[in-house]
Structure 1
Amino acid sequence: MTTAPTIEFRRFTDLSTARGDLLDVYAEVRAPLLHLPNYAVTAFGERLDRHSSEAGFVAILAYADEEPIGYAYANTIEHGDRYWQRVTPAPGDEYTAQPTVALKEIGVRPAWRGTGTARRIHDALLLTRDEKYVTLMVNAAAGDGKVHALYREWGYEDIGHSQPSPASPLLTVMIRRIG
């Protein structure tokens, strides 16, 4: 892509009108992995439905020429949340004593990668948040380590590991301050 059309960010706290667009982008973003049970569109849809019913849920979808090109979504996690319980070593109270944003998913269609779109979606999502910290989980092998390195460039630090489900790979848990 040589010239980028204007990107519009749309914020959703209810996915009734955006779920289809989000699933379409997910399927293209994760196409090489869809044969794995944890990455199947149906498994993602189930996680999405669960996450969208949790406290503090928000999704940002990016559109160019009315076509969805990327997304991110997050919700709030509290002290004692199962998210924190699965992290080893256990993170300190510095991170877990107050509500924290858990960035659950972010993805950008392949044609839009390398354009700064993922970072813009990420930042648009965080603009809506009042929490002190944001955390995420990343497969350190994704993109031959490039995704993990990108999050480090964005200011995230490794704090542990988690395997959210038996079908999930071991993920690196990262955190950074918001703002």
Structure 2
Amino acid sequence: MRMERRDSAGLGEIRPELLDVYAEIYADRLGEEFHTVERFDERLGWNTEVPGFAAVVGYLDETPVGYAYGCTLQAGTRWWNGLRTTVPDGATVEDGARTFALSELMIVDKVRGTGAAKAIHDELLRGRPEERATLLVEREHPKVRGLYEGWGYEWFAEVLPFADSPLYDAMNLRL
């Protein structure tokens, strides 16, 4: 698998391919308002506007088979909105340098179980200056949560980021 790093400017030319990968992975959930391609594209757009945005795309031949992206959480971020768990004072205070939010990590079926997800994840976080990374994993996917725990993430809180979104577990990884 060949990997390419992208910033927000370099994402535009491959955005349609990324949306195709999303549609393949979420094919059985595209009828849910939160999981439509349009809503995903909107969330992707929000991320690309934030300082510290980065993406890594994995290719087999010339076809994208997975990607991950995120951005540095800024002061006043909405990332922690919808927390349903009490957390220590200051644990969600962001200053534009503390936390990298891994917004998405997607891998198509044909490369699952090959280490592609971990490789893309590690490449995305390689050299990040933040002290921690955070991500959200659907509560209904304990197997995925277990995968992240195996990579060193620890459970942090329960969060419902949008009224129509699934319930998530927020997880943090010390960088």
Q: TM-score, normalised by structure 2?
A: 0.90
> Following TM superposition, where does structure 1 have runs of at least 4 consecutive aligned residues deviating by more than 4 angstroms?
none
Paired residue for 2:4, among 1, 7, 10? 10
CA 1:21–1:128 in structure 2 vs 1: closer, same or farther (change >3 Å)? farther
Letter in 2 for 1:138: V
Residue 104 of structure 2 corresponds to which residue in structure 1? 105
Shift of 1:132: 1.0
Residue 34 of structure 1 deviates from its aligned partner by 1.2
Alpha-carbon distance in 1 for matches of 2:64, 2:88: 36
Displacement, 1:161?
1.2
Q: Which residue of 2 aligns with 1:3?
A: none
**1:11-160 equivalence runs, <5 A:** 11-13=5-7, 14=9, 15-87=11-83, 88-93=85-90, 96=93, 98-142=97-141, 145-160=142-157
CA RMSD of aligned residues (A): 1.6
5+ long unaligned stretches in structure 1? 1-6
Aligned-residue identity in percent: 39
Unaligned ranges ≥5, structure 2: none
* Deviation readout 1:39-88 (Å, 9 max, x if unpaired): 11111011111111111111111001011000000000135422134333
Residue identity in the other structure for 2:98: P
Mapped partners of 2:54, 2:28: distance in 1: 27
**In structure 2, do the counterparts of structure 1 residues 84 and 150 end up closer, same or farther at CA, with 3 Å as the change threshold?**
same
Task: Give how far 1:17 is off.
Answer: 1.0
- For residues 24 and 68 of structure 1, what CA distance do their matches in structure 2 show? 9
